[in-house]
Amino acid sequence: MDRTAQLTARRAERDIAYDPPPVPDALHVRAARVLEANWTGTSTVPSRGLYPHQWSWDSAFIAIGLRHLSPLRAQTELETLLGAQWGDGRIPHIVFNPSVPLDAYFPSPDFWRSSTAGRAAGAPRTVQTSGIVQPPVHALAAWLVHRADPGLSRARGFLTRMYPRLAAWHRYLLHRRDLGGGGLASVVHPWEQGMDNSPCWDAPLSRVTPTPARSFRRADLDHGAPEDRPTDLDYGRYVRLATEYRDGGYADGAGDFAVEDPAFNALLIASEHALARIAQELGATGTARHARAERLTAALIERMWDPAEGMFFCRDVRSEGVHGGGPAGALIPERSVSGLIPLLLPTLPPDIAATLARTAHGPHFGLGHTTRLAPSYDLLGEAFDPHRYWRGPAWFNTAWLLERGLRTHGERERADALRTAVLDLAAATDFAEYVDPYTGEACGATGFGWTAALALDLLHDAPAWDTHTHTHTHDATERAVNELKGGDQG
């Protein structure tokens, strides 16, 4: 071999070792394509077919991933959502796109009648929304989006504009939704908690007379297998609850369904900590908000922690159970992934955090043993179903929250294993909505917004050399940015 050939060979070796050629279908690029395909110009739909509008907690999770590609677009995502906020502070769970036909999704805008039925609660007049809410991930998302490009954020006044809206949102939850009297927020509809048909709702829903199935048409069955979706009986109860809430002018406190949920409140606490950091960024101390987050954490433990079972449980505040002067209502004896999500909280007592990690990896959830992602419901529970929506399948947003929680509390090896599982399954299922917890089989929609966004967020946190995709994280992210055709043009 002559000298030139030797140098060429050495150069090729060096390129592979230090600057490997990009992989055409790197996960970064594939995730960016999903987010681009789901972008409407002002927000991101979860799924073009099944969910053609803007969903509240979906947009928060999507913004968390989108910040790595376009901080401006991530800011726009949250600005669009909070632009539909009601006067009483609530952020509606759906902001409807007026260009989408009414029959594309049920319940549609003509069911919710937000601008008329919600007038007393301050519903916006210029945009149609639902009247219920979803988990409060928004302040956490806003803080992470700000940190992605603080210069851009400050130049646009992003946090200055977001802070009063986020503060009003938290006030609404902490005052209007403290239906159990213990300082925590209650959900008044299963859809508000986000885990729509969890077995945790079976007992509280049994008090609700279902609306006959023949009185409405379920658009979700046009896009998903009936065996993967909530039953007609459950759906009839969802419709009844929503109808009564609407007909009561969306006033809180009168309905038959009111449940304190551990994940919903843990996300509120995490966002309260984030809101404290936002306040500090804007020149305030944030001390009062950190203190409030601590009080809420104490209330969460007092009202929902079961040390014998090693996890948190929902509390049905409309039930008869009162425990000897203790909190009103009764704990719902169903093990849901929701009861593991408080692991996300940085000031959770170390013994509780360690117990939650053991429970997640124990027989009821099997994480790292029989399952790669934690199932949404107890593997040993009578109601477990590996394919039916939130009654057993594993979801990527709860996996992301658990990965963050494990890492926060020093469980690095377990967090690394979960991160790898999320990325493997996101890649293998074309960013599925959710998966069979045993087999990893894709369920629901593919090209799902938060799956792509949260995989992107975990990829961004990778070491500089990412063996998972065999390409440099920086280079692949740069290529992924180019997949957003408008770049930072919003």
User: What is the separation, in whole angstroms, between the first and last Cα of the chain?
Assistant: 54
178 backbone φψ class: left, alpha, beta (φ>0; ψ -120 to 50) = beta
Residue keyed to tokens 């992602």:
373
3-class SS shares of the chain: helix, strand, coil, % to 5: 50, 5, 40
Catalytic, 196? Answer yes
CA 315, CA 259: separation in Å to the nearest integer? 6
Return phi, psi of residue 100, to 5°.
-90, 130
One of 260, 403, 433, 483 is an active-site residue; which one? 433
CA 114, CA 112: separation in Å to the nearest integer? 5
440 backbone φψ class: left, alpha, beta (φ>0; ψ -120 to 50) = left
Q: If we measure between CA atoms, which residue out of 44, 16, 69 comes closest to residue 479?
A: 69
| Distance of alpha carbon 457 from the chain centroid | 13
Reduced to 3 states (helix: H, G, I; strand: E, B; else coil), residue 315 is strand
One of 77, 88, 192, 196 is an active-site residue; which one? 196
Q: Which amino acid is at 260?
A: E
Reduced to 3 states (helix: H, G, I; strand: E, B; else coil), residue 460 is helix
CB burial string 385-395: b at 16+ within 10 A, e below: bbbbbbbbbbb
Return phi, psi of residue 17, to 5°.
-75, -35
Beta bridge mates, 466? 471
Containing H/E element for 151?
helix 150-156
CB burial string 86-112: b at 16+ within 10 A, e below: bebbbbbbbbbbeeeeeebbbbbbebb
Q: Residue 233 has which token pair?
A: 């009986």
Catalytic, 433? Answer yes
CA 121, CA 109: separation in Å to the nearest integer? 17
Q: If we measure between CA atoms, which residue out of 440, 439, 415 comes closest to residue 430?
A: 440
Return the active site residues: 196, 433
